[in-house]
């Protein structure tokens, strides 16, 4: 074995594929029963509908190098992601655009009129001087739009009153003064034609790659544990950086997600792939309906049943799967100290969302892995 990779998400598998293609013998371990980390998908048993097990994953990128690389393993559909939000029983398009504004204010503003209205409403606060998230958001889009579409949704996401969240949680709130409701602005967008798991398995399908599942790096009873490998073989570690160091500088805080899946005896539940719920009296943040991610599969999916998944957000415990870094001032100070410790780990490379404590989309994780391979490991 020339390289051990801890974690089989997109970061780990990209490094594995590059190393294997360069002739190195790679072992990938993952403590879960499947590859792919949170990008893992599988067909729901009753309906055959592909379900993203850890919440919706939408691939999009403007990085030509990443786009060329991922197309070696999968073709992509022409899916364009659009999101809607339910506020007080009325559905509005997101991100906030001219359609959202005109529907909300029951008006027919032109782009210039809408822009002037938002600027007027936003005059309550200067976002540069904001003391918290609420003041910055109101200073960017005005109180009416903030209270309708941002306040309660944010409170549910973070389980914290926006007045108690730091202003830097949001750097900007995009408002489009056209009727364009594409969720992403990237050059390329789509979903893997055969699903995420097929894509991930193709990345790992190389004679130089050995994938071992249900293997915990911190379990001393199995041979590929931390103590037995670090210093003896190069390691790419993509688990939580604080866990690697036994939380010696304190635990970093994360948000996690809970999912409630249901098979419904209807052909179509909500008419779209993702519906947000903006109000505080609805406990979940959004509902996914997975058949809408792949309309080209309509002949394969049942016409009289559908799969939905309600998504709930909360702070993670050490028993949960971490999803999003909370990134408080305390977290940033702890992360600084962990980065100093990481510099002293000879032959260990930290990567991915968990290993760097950064929110990385899939294309960002792949791009970061390609950079690590080219600049450090190749």
Q: Give the catalytic positions in this structure.
A: 172, 176, 255, 286, 311, 359, 361
Specify whether the CB–CB gap between 292 and 272 falls below 8 A.
Answer: yes
Residues 108, 101: Cα–Cα separation, whole Å: 9
**Cross-strand partners of 325:** 254
Per the structure block, which two tokens stand in for 327?
């990134």
Specify whether the CB–CB gap between 367 and 358 falls below 8 A.
Answer: no
Q: Which long-range contacts (CB under 8 A, 24 or more apart) does 38-41 make?
A: 38/9, 38/321, 38/323, 39/9, 39/10, 39/196, 39/200, 39/362, 40/196, 40/197, 40/200, 41/195, 41/196, 41/197
Q: Tally the residues of the chain.
A: 378
DSSP string, 53-120: TTS---EEE--HHHHHHHTTT--B------EEEEETTEEEEES-BHHHHHHHHT----HHHHHHHHHH
| Beta strand extents in the chain (DSSP E only) | 3-6, 26-30, 41-43, 50-52, 59-61, 83-87, 90-94, 188-190, 209-213, 235-237, 254-264, 274-277, 286-289, 306-315, 324-325, 348-350
**Cross-strand partners of 308:** 262, 289
Helices 10-21 and 196-204 pack at an angle, to 10 degrees, of 30
**Cross-strand partners of 275:** 84, 287
Strands 324-325, 254-264: pairing is antiparallel
């Amino acid at each position: 074995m020339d390289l051990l990779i801890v974690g089989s998400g997109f970061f780990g598998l990209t490094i594995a594929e590059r190393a294997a293609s360069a002739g190195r013998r790679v072992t990938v371990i993952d403590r879960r029963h499947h590859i792919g980390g949170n990008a893992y998908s599988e067909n729901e048993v009753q309906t055959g509908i592909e379900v993203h097990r850890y919440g919706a994953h939408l691939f999009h990128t403007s990085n030509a190098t990443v786009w060329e690389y991922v197309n070696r393993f999968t073709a992509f559909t022409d899916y364009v992601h659009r999101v809607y939000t339910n506020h007080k029983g009325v559905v509005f398009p997101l991100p906030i655009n001219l359609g959202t504004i005109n529907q909300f204010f029951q008006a027919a503003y032109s782009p210039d009129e809408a822009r002037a209205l938002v600027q007027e409403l936003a005059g309550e606060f200067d976002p540069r001087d904001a003391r918290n998230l609420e003041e910055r958001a109101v200073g960017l889009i005005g109180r009416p739009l903030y209270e309708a579409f941002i306040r309660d949704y944010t409170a549910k996401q973070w389980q914290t009153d926006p007045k108690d969240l730091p202003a830097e949680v949001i750097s900007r709130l995009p408002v489009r003064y056209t009727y364009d409701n594409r969720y992403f602005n990237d050059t390329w967008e789509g979903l893997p034609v055969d699903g995420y798991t097929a894509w991930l398995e193709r990345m790992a399908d190389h004679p130089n790659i050995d994938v071992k599942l249900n293997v915990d790096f911190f379990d001393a009873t199995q041979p590929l544990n931390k103590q037995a490998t670090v210093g003896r073989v190069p390691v790419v570690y993509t688990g939580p950086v604080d866990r690697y160091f036994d939380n010696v500088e304190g635990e970093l805080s994360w948000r996690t997600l809970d999912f409630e899946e249901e098979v419904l005896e209807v052909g179509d539940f909500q008419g779209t792939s993702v519906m947000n719920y903006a109000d505080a009296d609805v406990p979940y943040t959004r509902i996914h309906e997975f058949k809408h991610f792949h309309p080209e599969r309509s002949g394969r999916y049942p016409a009289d049943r559908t799969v939905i998944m309600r998504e709930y957000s909360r702070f993670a415990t050490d028993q949960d799967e971490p999803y999003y870094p909370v990134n408080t001032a305390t977290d940033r100070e702890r992360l600084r100290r962990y980065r100093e410790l990481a510099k002293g780990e000879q032959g260990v490379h930290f990567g991915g969302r968990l290993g760097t404590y950064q929110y990385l989309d899939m294309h960002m994780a792949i791009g970061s892995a390609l950079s690590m391979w080219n600049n450090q490991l190749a």
